[in-house]
Amino acid sequence: MTFHTHPSEVIHHEVPRQVMIQALRRHLPEDGLLWEESELCPFECDGLYAYRRTPWLVALPETREQVRSVLIECRERGVPVVIRGAGTGLSGGALPLDKGVLLSLTRLNRILEIDPANRMARVEPGVTNAAITQAAANHGLYYAPDPSSQIACSIGGNVAENAGGVHCLKYGLTVHNIQRLKFFTMEGEEITAGGTGLEGPGLDLLALMTGSEGLLGVVTEITVKLLPVPESARVLLAAFDDIGKAAAAVAAVIQAGLVPAGLEMMDRFAIHAVEDFMRVGYPREAEAILLCEVDGTEAQVEDESVVAQQVLEQAGAFEVRVSRNEAERRRFWAGRKAAFPAMGKITPDYYCMDGTIPRHRLAEVLAGIARLSEKYQLKVANVFHAGDGNLHPLIIYDGSIPGALEKTERLGAEILELCVRVGGTITGEHGVGIEKINQMCVQFGREELQQFHAVKQAFDPRGLLNPGKAVPTLARCAEFGAMHVHKGQLPHPELERF
């Protein structure tokens, strides 16, 4: 097993475990602190299950005041804290530390208020994404971001990673759908970012906190925006005999002036896996399919469906199906959202990447991924948010084979660096965590990383919140050999063939 923590990123502590147990038990419910090995095992990893570490201690507070007390006890003793939500993250952001406290927020799971007049909901971080929509449904409202894990993932984790989903093209990521956060710093100070109006006072800490991966503070309350449920929605399923045509069709849809609610792509490998898993009716003969959803009033949906169908056919689709009813629309999306578990049925392990590229480079990057797949002799399934260029290549491997994970990591790293070279980024919604920390050295230069560390220092002077994650040290980047890489320019000419 390879862990990504750099020696200079580790904080060493001499605090006896029993001392911390006694200190924390004073503030938590009887079952709110775990230290027996059998109790700790479920917390040893998040969705990036290839990396595991048994927690030192797990704290399970039930109130904001208990969260604050845990932070203060840890701060006073110099013990680091890793914040964990539902554990569905895919970048290792919640990987425990050897001598740190894992702070789980799953018991802060109350919906505090639904405000239909102002189209807002006030919730605690442990509330699941889907539960917000369920609570708002009686008012004809819903919460727009819908990651594939929405039944299980928590809104606090969505904020930490700036999660998206299949409808993020039109409705945005988490950052576009929240209005206010309350969070504690490591010092135990409570800060409110944003507000209930169109614009919050002061600096935009709301945007800074969203996607900060637990490095700056512990979020304890979130005010989200709610939207009216669209009057009508349809999905067009377009099948292509060439993945390049499907990629070009994505740009054609946007160029036609359409802003679909969702625009997703799956390649042949993913199509077959989903069909074998749940038989939703995807065309097996297709090299790629696009799922294009239009929503709005009945008249809007009718008009946009006609335009979208014409654009997709002109772009080379050999078949375009339009959902005939709500059940069929949901079935089309069910297949897309089941792509990850479908892969789990056909392979011992898979590694889900997360990079974002400009839409017009999509065909080029997919061809590059195919060449890299051949180079490493590892199959890659492509399932992704095509409309906003957020790629999720799934690398198929068998972790029981010595060296297989390391080989898979190298392929994943090259995919991410390819995204950077074409003007993209190393993550769209999964975060950096431990998985992509070396690629941060490719994405950013020394001056930018220094600024990131300065922000971290301002919020967490002692570096106790999630140390070793998301932002690499300059020493680490120097060792990685990429400190001179900046703004997508790599010094190795042989890489430019992709």
* Domains, the chain, with CATH or none: 7-104 (3.30.43.10), 116-228 (3.30.465.10), 232-341 (3.30.70.2190), 347-497 (3.30.70.2740)
Nearest to 160 by CA among 92, 227, 62: 92
Tell me how many degrees the CA angle 270-272-274 measures, rounded to the nearest 5.
70
Q: Is the pLDDT reported for residue 418 higher than 70?
A: yes
Query: 196-227, pLDDT tens digit by residue?
Result: 887 777 889 999 999 999 999 999 999 999 99
**Average pLDDT estimate for 48-77:** 97
Residue 483: pLDDT over 90: no
Using the predicted structure, report yes or no on whether residue 492 has a pLDDT greater than 90.
no
Non-local (6+) Cβ contacts of 159 within 8 A are 125, 174, 178, 181, 209, 210, 211, 219, 222
State residue 5's pLDDT score: 59
Overall pTM surpassing 0.85 (yes/no): yes
First-to-last C-alpha distance (Å) of the chain? 30
Beta-bridge partner residues of 83? 103
Per-residue pLDDT, 4: 56
Confidence of residue 381 (pLDDT cuts 50, 70, 90): very high
Question: How does residue 493 score in pLDDT terms, banded at 50, 70 and 90?
Answer: very low
List pLDDT tens digits, range 251-290.
999 999 999 999 999 999 999 999 999 999 999 999 999 9
pLDDT in tens, 142-152: 999 999 899 99
Candidates 109, 98, 107, 87; CA nearest to 28 is: 107
Task: Report the pLDDT value the prediction gives residue 9, as an integer from 0 to 100.
Answer: 59
Position 390 scores a pLDDT of: 96
Instruction: Label residue 13 by pLDDT band (50, 70, 90).
Output: low
Summarize pLDDT for 109-122 with one digit per residue, the tens: 999 999 999 999 99
What pLDDT was estimated at residue 11? 53
Residue 484 has pLDDT above 70, yes or no: no
Q: What is the dihedral of CA 397, 402, 403, 406, to 10 degrees?
A: 60
Q: What angle do helix axes 339-346 and 326-337 make, rounded to 10 degrees?
A: 50
- CB contact set of 201 (below 8 Å; sequence gap of 6+): 195
What is the predicted pLDDT for the residue at 494? 29
Phi, psi of 355 (to 5 degrees): -125, 160
- CA distance linking residue 145 with residue 158, whole number of Å: 9
431-446 pLDDT per residue, tens: 999 999 999 999 999 9
pLDDT in tens, 345-358: 999 999 999 999 99
Q: What is the pLDDT of residue 488?
A: 39
- Report whether pLDDT(137) > 70: yes
486 has pLDDT over 50: no
List the one residue out of 172, 165, 219 whose CA is nearest residue 194: 219
Whether the predicted pLDDT of 496 surpasses 80: no
- pLDDT over threshold 70, residue 138: yes
pLDDT at 491 over 70: no
Give CA separation, 247 vs 208, 256, 264, 313, 366, in Å: 32, 15, 10, 13, 8
Region 9-18: mean pLDDT is 73
Which H helix or E strand runs over 293?
strand 288-296
Contact 414, 372 (CB under 8 A): yes
Amino acid at 206: L
Residues with Cβ < 8 Å from 334, sequence gap 6 or more?
278, 280
Tens of pLDDT, residue by residue over 227-249, are: 999 999 999 999 999 999 999 99
User: Secondary structure of the chain: what % helix, strand, coil (to 5)?
Assistant: 40, 20, 40
Q: Which two tokens stand for residue 192?
A: 């409110």
Mean per-residue pLDDT, 343-371: 95
Give the separation between CA 109 and CA 470, rounded to whole angstroms.
26
Cα separation of 303 and 293, whole Å? 13
